[in-house]
Amino acid sequence: MVIHDITIPLFPGMVSYPGDPPFQSEPVYSLDKDGYRLSMLSMGSHCGTHLDAPSHCLTGGGSVDRIPLELLIGAARVIEVAVAGSILPDHLIPKGIREGDRILFKTRNSGLLKDPMFQPEYTYLSSEAAEYLAAKKVQLVGIDYLSIDDSTSSAYSSHTILLSGNSAVLEGLDLSEVNEGDYFLVALPLKIRDCDGSPVRAVLIEGMNP
């Protein structure tokens, strides 16, 4: 059994989506003065590798603490799509996506996550591809940059389509060292009451039967 950590580390100066609060860590107590260490953390709810709740984009949508954990634990498929710009249905049809799949898209984005400067020309999921996945009733969609939507659009259509269909949305995955194939996914958020998202620790387990 091999465990792949597909979570990007949190640290001051890491890449963040434009307008989002940056990650900060400030010491509050120290070993020298207080006999123990304790830090104050500050970040946005969509910092680093994170889960979007329906309330992120939908009026009346559920919060992150209400997302069924069954969506976030189980068999998952890493699908490599080596395109620039948008992922389209034509890229997905040959992959044989099935109803109930958990799909993680590995694109050229994974290398971009290591750059502290936000890169707006990342590969994203077109609304047509989101409609295709929603029609398949996939349980989860993940991608290897900070958003599944185009950075130049304010409509957030892919978010809206998938979250409206009760699919979980994972963003900021580091899939650079993971091959296309079948895995077992665990991606659990913090249990933050009434929040629109949360950082997660996401892992893919290779060689584990669901």
Which burial class, exposed, middle or buried, applies to 68 when counting CB atoms under 10 A from its CB (0-12, 13-18, 19+)? exposed
Query: What is residue 134's three-state secondary structure?
Result: helix
Chain centroid to Cα 60, Å, comes to 22
Catalytic residues: 56
Q: Are 141 and 170 in contact (CB under 8 A)?
A: yes
User: Tokens 């465990």 sit at which residue?
Assistant: 3
For 106, half-sphere exposure in the C-beta direction (CA atoms, 13 angstrom radius) is 15
**Lookup: tokens for 156:** 């957030």
